[in-house]
Amino acid sequence: MTDLMQAWPRPSRPLPIVVIGAGAIVRTAHLPAYRALGFPVAGLFDIRLDAARAAAEAFAVENVFPSLAAAAAVPGVVYDIAVPGDQILGILDRLPRGAAVLMQKPMGQDLASAKAIRACCRERQLTAAVNFQLRFSPNVLALRDLLTRGTIGPILDIDVRVVIDQPWHRWTFLETTPRLEVPYHSIHYLDTIRWLAGEPDGVYCRVVRHPALPALADTRSSIILDYGDRIRCSLALNHTHRAGPRHRASQISIDGVRGAARLTWGVNLDYPSGPPDTMEIACGGDWRTFALRGSWFIDAFEGPMSNLQRFVSGEDSVLVGSVDDAIRTMAVVEACYISSAGGGTPVPASE
């Protein structure tokens, strides 16, 4: 199993990238990943000109565009849109017809806005994908390869446990979003489960706020994805664990008919420089550690742009995380909030 896939192939002729947005995720993940791949960055635009200039200086990017119109006027580029979900549609509508676009998750604030984004992409003939980069992390790629080969599958059980102290203060725009924890973080786990196990039949969910964070919407959730009798799938997600690092957790466990796997994601444990990711595999009852080439943060950020560019050039036949696929993840997120608002089944009287 030493030959399991851990990285997406690079495009043979990378196209220049125009990055729209120069926030923390661009500075700590997008631009470092593109630099590691040797992808040319044609320029940056941000409504905060000082942020764009600082990012450009840090990564030796020559052009800082004075306006979105100027950024959208560059020919022969791929656009990387890294802005909050409620700003995506207004940017897509101003890009050149037929452009290639990688947009940050979530695909809008809710399913209705995701449908509007998909309609815009279709009308403007954009080749567009959503940056669900957890699919491309080395351990998730290896796990999917393992499942494809039938080494541990079919899947019987999926368990995600995230118990962390998320530094929400790093992203001040989140104070105004009506939905927080699921669309802006745990959407990654829902999307990855869809990629590994297919579409769920339904969702049971309860999202919860935290009294110490009155400016924020939900920061914790319990989610069950309904796969009928085939798969038990649960997610326990606590992003406000304040009791110190000793019992933090960031992991997914998969039980299959023939074996099992356990993956951890270190970035959650101490953002953004947590311990390396891990992967353990059990076949025949013996657990062993599988060596990884890197971690979700930042190695996974290589994959979505590589796949998009390879799809544009014809080197890849499938666009992973296309808007038509990503909207199904948004539908699962929507189902979470519908379920949470509906409440659970009342406990019947015992007398």
Tens digits of residue pLDDT in 256-293:
999 999 999 999 999 988 999 999 999 987 899 999 99
- Report yes or no on 29 lying in a domain: yes
Tens digits of residue pLDDT in 137-146:
999 999 999 9
- Report yes or no on 50 lying in a domain: yes
Do 159 and 279 share a structural domain? Answer: yes
Q: Name the domain count of the chain.
A: 2
- Report yes or no on 2 lying in a domain: no
Do 129 and 139 share a structural domain? Answer: no
- Report yes or no on 255 lying in a domain: yes
Tens digits of residue pLDDT in 208-224:
999 999 999 999 999 99
Do 87 and 97 share a structural domain? Answer: yes
Give residue 153's pLDDT band: very low, low, confident or very high (50, 70, 90): confident
Structural domain including 32 reads 17-133
Mean predicted confidence (pLDDT) in 42-60: 97
Give the domain CATH number at 219.
3.30.360.10
Do 289 and 145 share a structural domain? Answer: yes
Tens digits of residue pLDDT in 84-98:
999 999 999 999 999
Do 73 and 35 share a structural domain? Answer: yes
Do 230 and 123 share a structural domain? Answer: no
Whether pLDDT at 1 is above 70: no
**Residue of 120, 109, 221 whose CA lies nearest to 176:** 109
Do 181 and 85 share a structural domain? Answer: no
- pTM more than 0.95: yes
Do 268 and 173 share a structural domain? Answer: yes
Mean pLDDT taken over the chain: 96
Do 220 and 146 share a structural domain? Answer: yes
